[in-house]
Chain A
Amino acid sequence: MIKTDALIIGAGPTGLFTAHQLNLIGLSCEVVDNLDKIGGQCIELYPDKPIYDIPAVPECTGEQLTNNLINQLKPFDIKFHLNQRVEEVKRDKENWIVKTNSGNTFLTPNVIIAGGVGSFEPRKFSPKECEKFENKSLFYSVKDKKIFEGKTVAIFGGGDSALDWAVELSKKSKVNLIHRRDEFRGAEATVSKMHALVKEGKINLFTKYQMMSVKGNGKLKSIDLKNDEDEIKNIKTDYALGFFGLIMQLGPIANWGLNLNKKTIEVDTEKFETNQKGIYAVGDICNYPGKLKLILSGFHEGALAARACFKLARPNEKYRFEFTTTSTNLLKRLGKKE
């Protein structure tokens, strides 16, 4: 069990700056995120898109903003737990016990939800019966490519993941690549490579087709594809891979007994605390009268939630407000003074 003064759920800009504020006032924190990298929506959805409304930063991309925030955390020792989702939050006297789906358990008086619109999960095939095959013969990511050797694999999607795997798996498997239109959004070089492999007969390409239904008994046997003209084609397959990007899902947060409003969590504007003592929500996921879904609002909310955490993490101490320009305490924590 990992003990910490505060656990932050979400490593987007708000979560990162909240971590900064916690450490600055002398509290420890750990950060959990379901993505495999730090940065949240900024890094997953718009790494290259410029942002123009970060105070004192006239222009920066999602990636630059993330890198700057990570740099700002350098003086501190913050542990990130990526690739995992918080599943369960349970009260234990003055603390919360928080469990993730990869087996980590945290004991903390403060949980700060900086979860954006929820955790990123792969988008799935639309036919309901696909669930029966999931993680057996139907996948949304590749963990062990060896299982495909000598087998027939149907790959769906038009981006880099679909193309990269089509090219890679075509070396040792029979690959059918299926995409809803003729244009691919993947890198040009990969698209050309894929087309070359199609010419060589190494990849069978079906464009303007989408999955209609899956057939099989325990194991996938075949897939019915349908095109825009409602023509149906049945292809035999041992495996199916879907690469349709990621979608944000509120997920288990919905079961923690918090007051929800659509996909957001109600908080007060003093501590950004939810209806549960010691659970806060900041950034896009929180809701209060006048809420603006801007990154700058998340920074403010995180700063205030961090001060609220102090009370529960250090019940016998008094929090003193200080400036980084003048406080020896803060400068020491920032590594600017011995």
Chain B
Amino acid sequence: MSTPALELSGLKKSFGKAEIIRGIDLSIGKSERHAVIGPNGAGKSTLFNLITARFQPTAGTVKLHGEDLIGLEPYQINRKGLSRSFQITNIFPKMTVFENVRCALLWSQGYKYSFWNLVNRSRDLTEGAEAILEQINLTERRNLPAGTLSYAEQRALEIGITIAGGADVIMLDEPTAGMSHSETDYITDLIMKVTEGKTLIMVEHDMGVVFGLADRISVLVYGEIIATGKPEEVRGDPKVQEAYLGAALEAEH
């Protein structure tokens, strides 16, 4: 079997005495859409932050395509092909929508820290950014400052920035948080479309989105994964129902 896209083993994180992540082993295969669910405070965002080096883990390893990520800086991890979005919208609010996307393309197109290229002169950059805008349906908003977009549009833009660099492992932290039903459907379709053929790892509260998108689901409770499997398996797991799903599903209906 080929190496998994992302492999976590024995991952732990403590803040002082509080153990937030208590030993996680998880393997996510290539082109898999994987959702991490769990009650509030289970450590889902912390797990994301550990993988992307926003926090340093207390113990354990994170491997991307078999390569160890521990000790690398966020920008180095990004260059290895892992890209993420944030729970709280994290864009460049003063720049235009177009520029937001273009900035996301610069490194992957090899411009690096160059000061001998003019970004306006590059057709690749302009066309690449246009193509992404087309994909996330923000072409009409192209020249507006990103900070003036509606919430759902900013979330869409964030997804656009996340995928623009061509990373093959995409991590989305609650992409539909705080959205109306129609907005949620819109973002779900968008995620479907833009993660075609890529590995997706997402934290999500909305069960409709999770069961609609995910190939496999992991349930995180108090810093431990209590179940991993296909949606129907997880749904039927009595432990999961006890810990989390029952309550959440009741709330849904």
Whether chains A and B associate is no
Which residues of A are in contact with B by a Cβ distance under 8 Å? none
Which residues of B are in contact with A by a Cβ distance under 8 Å? none
